[in-house]
Amino acid sequence: MLVEINLTRAFVKNVKELAKVAIETGKEQIARFNFSLGKKLYK
C-alpha cells in the first residue's frame, strides 16, 4: 500500500513537471507563430 502511494506521488509529480514543460513549449510555439505571422502582416 505504501509503495503504491509513493508511486502515485512520483507519477503526479512527473505529470506536473511534464505539464510545465508542455506549457513552456506551447508558449514558445505560439510566440514563434505570432512572430512569423506578424512578419507576413507587416510586409
Residue 1, pLDDT score: 65
| Residue-wise pLDDT tens digits, 24-34 | 999 999 999 88
| Residue-wise pLDDT tens digits, 1-43 | 678 888 888 898 999 999 999 999 999 999 998 888 887 777 6
Q: Which residue's C-alpha cell is 505560439?
A: 30
Report how far residue 32's alpha carbon sits from residue 36's, in angstroms, rounded to the nearest whole number. Answer: 6
Look up residue 23 and give its three cell numbers: 506549457
